[in-house]
Amino acid sequence: MPDVTKTDRFQSLCTQIRHFDQLPAEVVKNLAACAYLQRYVAGQVIYLEGEPAEAVYLLQRGWVKATRMSRSGREQAMLFLQAGEVFGDVAVFLQSPYPGTVTALEAVEVWVLPGDDFLKLVVRHASLALAVIRRLSERVLHYIRLVEDLSLRSVEQRLANTLLQHAEVQAGQLVVPRRHWATFDEMAVRLGTVRDVLSRALKTLETEGYLKVEKHSIVLLDPAGLQARGEV
């Protein structure tokens, strides 16, 4: 008999994944039939850059980061992903090694879809193929923006934009909560810089009255001004 609990939970996750939320029930059930749940602890590597791409991952719970390592040992963040995201798919489609390392930033649950099974379902179901194409197209746009940020914007501008993207309203204030793993080192990796440069950028924006750095959050005092500060 089918595992109803597993199928229901997988279906629930698909409703949270952009473009997958429009998949027919039959397609979701076929995906669920070949998926299995895997758990990771904070700091555990899900897969390494250069490893054979054997699976696609659907993030059920927690945050992960995807990074590449330069020959000099410097880490460059490519993506920070939260629940409802898909990763590992590009390498599976290209049948090439994973282009980066993905690491759990906290306790994480992921659905693992074996690459061969996933590819067969994409070939069989046009709706799944279209959903994947749309997601990959959005990923291309993300990297275009990343290249633009790294080449055209200063660290202060990139920081201003990143803070605005991740801000939420708390007690009438616009706040960027600092998760337990969001150290200055992690933030620096995310912005393509180093800790000292990030610290100076935060201090500059704080001195200019755009924000206030607190122990567990960053309060945005002047969102409109911060937005203007982040423009090229």
Which tens digit of pLDDT belongs to each residue from 73-113?
A: 777 777 889 999 999 999 999 999 999 999 999 999 999 99
* The one-letter amino acid at 180: H
Spell out the SS3 assignment of 100-129: CEEEECCCEEEEEEEHHHHHHHHHHCHHHH
DSSP state of 17: S
Same domain as 48, residue 73: yes
Percent of the chain with pLDDT over 70: 97
- Asked if pLDDT for residue 123 goes beyond 70, the answer is yes
Does the pLDDT value for residue 180 go beyond 60? Answer: yes
Same domain (yes/no): 160, 116: no
C-alpha distances out from residue 9 to 41, 107, 158, 190, Å: 21, 18, 37, 31
Boundary residue ending a domain (122, 151, 180): 151
> Count of alpha carbons within 13 Å of 106, Cβ hemisphere only?
15
**Same-domain check for residues 105 and 207:** no
Residues 160, 145 share a domain: no
| 185 and 109, same domain (yes or no) | no
Instruction: Give ∠ CA 131-82-152 in degrees, rounded to 5.
Output: 85
Is the same domain home to 157 and 180? yes
Residues 102 and 175 in one domain: no
The pair of three-digit structure tokens given for residue 190, joined into one six-digit string: 């995310």
Rounded mean pLDDT, 170-187: 81
Q: Does residue 232 surpass a pLDDT of 80?
A: no
Q: What is the pTM of this model?
A: 0.79
Confidence band, pLDDT 50/70/90 cuts, at residue 1: very low
127 and 19 belong to one structural domain = yes
Which domain range does residue 216 map to?
A: 153-229
Band of pLDDT at residue 4, cut at 50, 70 and 90: low
Domain count, the chain: 2
DSSP label at residue 23 = S
Domain boundary among 151, 171, 190: 151
Q: How many residues are given for the chain?
A: 232
Which tokens hold the place of 34? 């070949």
> Which of 131, 151, 171 is at the close of a domain?
151
Same domain membership, residue 184 and residue 98: no
Whether 76 and 102 share a structural domain? yes
Same domain for 57 and 127?
A: yes
> What CATH number does residue 198 fall under?
1.10.10.10
More confident residue, 15 or 192: 15
Residues 86, 7 contacting (CB under 8 angstroms): no
CA separation for the pair 7, 232 (Å, rounded): 47
**Same domain, yes or no, for 130 and 17?**
yes
| Per-residue pLDDT tens digits for 26-44 | 999 999 999 999 999 999 9
Rounded to an integer, what distance in angstroms lies between the CA atom of residue 160 and that of residue 231?
9
List the CATH number of the domain containing 61: 2.60.120.10
